[in-house]
Structure 1
Amino acid sequence: MMSTTTADPYRVRPRVWIGIVIYLAYVAVVFTVQLLSGIPYTDFGTSGSNLFLGAGLSLIVGAILLAITTTLLGWWRPALFERHRAERRWPIIAPAIMVVALIVNFVSIDWGSYDAAFLAASVVLLLVGFTEELATRGLLLVGLRSRLSEVWVWFLTSAAFGLMHLVNAISGAAIGPTIQQVAFAFGAGTIFYILRRVTGSLIWAMVLHGFWDFSTFALGRGTPGPLAALGGGIEIVAIVIALSSVAFVIRGADEQIPSQRLATP
């Protein structure tokens, strides 16, 4: 009896190496655009033009290239949505606590120090949620799921998310704070992974990520309010809870993507 092949939902079948190449290419593009701007990382927050040319432009270029890549691969659905949400929903506590930290950050921002140009450039920073999430917990995740178990998918996507921040040191940031940023980013990446697994969608992680980065950067402008340090403390609590509970959203996950088309009789 002849065998037929089931309809393939992907234009290109997911492979680990494809996800890794996309991740590395994204980091390279963002770093190159920022380097060509000639603006050191430490000077991004000095003016609206510096912020846009130093950070915003690289995010725009990265977002466009990632959107084109995802479309050509046919990976939008697996990149943005889980096939099955995590059975245990209570680990959503960690992202919820991070939302509390986000609110504290926003009420602590010195909004009076913002002029129109700087505010407009700051809004562009919201794209970081789309670009970094799609590159790591989107396309890299899809590639890794073609071969690896879910515990490795969580660990490697979170580690990749943390390590991408090392380029800040090359762009002028001090190495000590950058290493700390990498560690915190691994923890935040775990929170975003939990949010994806529990809600069944990467979109909520994109939103939280974008507003979180916006808030933490905005705190460096002007004189932040007295509660500014509290936001960082609450974030640490969220990270500890996330690292303690991530196993519960990994357990029973059935998200692995077959690396070959399935044949049917």
Structure 2
Amino acid sequence: MAVETDRGWFRTFMERGGWWRAVAFTAAYLVLYSGAGLLMSALFGDRIADDMFADTATVFLALFLPLAAGSALLAGTVALLGWSRPLFGRQPVPGRAWMWIAPLIVVLAALLRILGTDYGRYTAGVVAMTYAAGLLIGFAEEVLARGIVIHMLRRRGFGELAVMLLSSLLFALMHATNLLSGQPPATVAATMGFTFAFGVAMYLTLRATRFLIWPVLLHAATDPSTFLATGGIDEAATGGTDPLVALAGASVLLYALLAVAALFLIRDRTDPDALQGRP
């Protein structure tokens, strides 16, 4: 009986939606996700190298396992709330033709990084495990930021401009937790600036494609290709020396310009009654 009461309270809390509940849920998720990372460090610290991509075991223990725990938590939350259809089904807000610019930039930037990566720096196991972790990054971060958070904002009747800005801001703030892993504040600040603009691009991708799976997959290609092309998470915000990787770095400016344009072009509003999912 106690379990049913707790589940009922949680469903009520989440289904009421709104920005502060989205913030509270995100904060709770980050605490649990960060806790999983700290647990991995405590249990397997002697097997985790200082360089995240030094060996397959380090990628698995320091990156893949905490992300697997976070992904399982989010998948369980979606199932518990019965939100699989509204999150993964066809989205209720149609996109505009210009929004296809966002996924095009994401795809081109990822391809340039993939082609410009010096794979001789890594073992085959590191590359494979990094891309496996990338799938979990795409799933966890998109289900949270472009799935749960956006759904909660729309349920309270927020206009799509506010939905875009608030979900992207929260997505950027999520990356402040990189300070806990010892990243320099300047790197974290640069990452947060990038992730805000990238979050807008992922929102536009969601609108253009009408399905959450596409932001998940494009995000899953972006992070691991960036990590491997630049040499690691600490260097990911600063670009690389390969010409193709440097060209891919121009995507940061394009995301920023697209975000500014979106401020003037997005005026849609979602009817909260239309958020129950579609077959």
Please give the range of the TM-score, normalised by the shorter of the 2 chains: 0.7 to 0.9
Q: What do the CA deviations read for 1:149-206 (whole angstroms, capped 9, x no partner)?
A: 3222111110011111111112110000110100100000000000111211111111
Task: Provide the rounded CA distance (Å) in 2 between the counterparts of 1:200 and 1:19.
Answer: 21
Number of corresponding residues: 247
Give identity over the alignment, percent: 32
Q: What do the CA deviations read for 1:95-148 (whole angstroms, capped 9, x no partner)?
A: 212221111111111122231321232122221011001011101111111212
Choose between structure 1 and 2 for higher RCO, CA contacts under 8 A separated by at least 6 residues. Answer: 1
The answer on whether the counterparts of 2:99 and 2:207 sit within 8 Å (CA) in structure 1 is no
Give the letter aligned to residue 23 of structure 2: I
Say which SS state the counterpart of residue 219 (structure 1) adopts: helix
The alignment status of 1:107 with 2:115, answered yes or no, reads yes
Q: What do the CA deviations read for 1:185-236 (whole angstroms, capped 9, x no partner)?
A: 0000000000111211111111111100011111134996332211111332
Mapping of 1:189-200 within 5 angstroms? 189-200=199-210
Change (3 A) 1:116 1:244: same
My pick for the range that moved more, 196-205 or 175-184, is 196-205
The answer on whether the counterparts of 2:23 and 2:170 sit within 8 Å (CA) in structure 1 is no
Give the letter aligned to residue 110 of structure 1: D
Instruction: Specify the alignment match of 1:3 in structure 2.
Output: none
Note the residue ranges of structure 2 that are not aligned, 5 or more in a row.
Answer: 1-10, 233-239
Instruction: Specify the alignment match of 1:79 in structure 2.
Output: 87
Q: 124, 130, 138: which one pairs with 2:139?
A: 130
Task: Provide the rounded CA distance (Å) in 1 between the counterparts of 2:59 and 2:271.
Answer: 39
The answer on whether the counterparts of 1:150 and 1:255 sit within 8 Å (CA) in structure 2 is no
Mapping of 1:1-265 within 5 angstroms? 13-16=15-18, 18-38=21-41, 43-80=51-88, 81-86=90-95, 88-126=96-134, 127-147=136-156, 148-221=158-231, 225-245=242-262, 247-248=264-265, 250-257=266-273
Change (3 A) 1:257 1:56: farther
Give the letter aligned to residue 33 of structure 1: A
Task: Provide the rounded CA distance (Å) in 2 between the counterparts of 1:35 and 1:240.
Answer: 37
The answer on whether the counterparts of 1:15 and 1:146 sit within 8 Å (CA) in structure 2 is yes
Task: Provide the rounded CA distance (Å) in 2 between the counterparts of 1:41 and 1:95.
Answer: 35
The answer on whether the counterparts of 2:91 and 2:207 sit within 8 Å (CA) in structure 1 is yes
The answer on whether the counterparts of 1:128 and 1:209 sit within 8 Å (CA) in structure 2 is yes
The answer on whether the counterparts of 1:59 and 1:125 sit within 8 Å (CA) in structure 2 is yes
The answer on whether the counterparts of 1:108 and 1:224 sit within 8 Å (CA) in structure 2 is no
The answer on whether the counterparts of 2:70 and 2:140 sit within 8 Å (CA) in structure 1 is yes
My pick for the range that moved more, 214-223 or 75-84, is 214-223
Task: Provide the rounded CA distance (Å) in 2 between the counterparts of 1:174 and 1:167.
Answer: 12
Task: Provide the rounded CA distance (Å) in 2 between the counterparts of 1:177 and 1:111.
Answer: 24
Instruction: Compute the TM-score of the two structures, normalised by the length of structure 1.
Output: 0.84
Note the residue ranges of structure 1 that are not aligned, 5 or more in a row.
Answer: 1-10, 260-265
Q: What do the CA deviations read for 1:39-89 (whole angstroms, capped 9, x no partner)?
A: 689632222211111111111011111111101101112223411312x22
My pick for the range that moved more, 107-116 or 16-25, is 16-25
What value does the CA root-mean-square deviation take over the aligned residues? Answer: 2.4
Give the letter aligned to residue 226 of structure 1: P
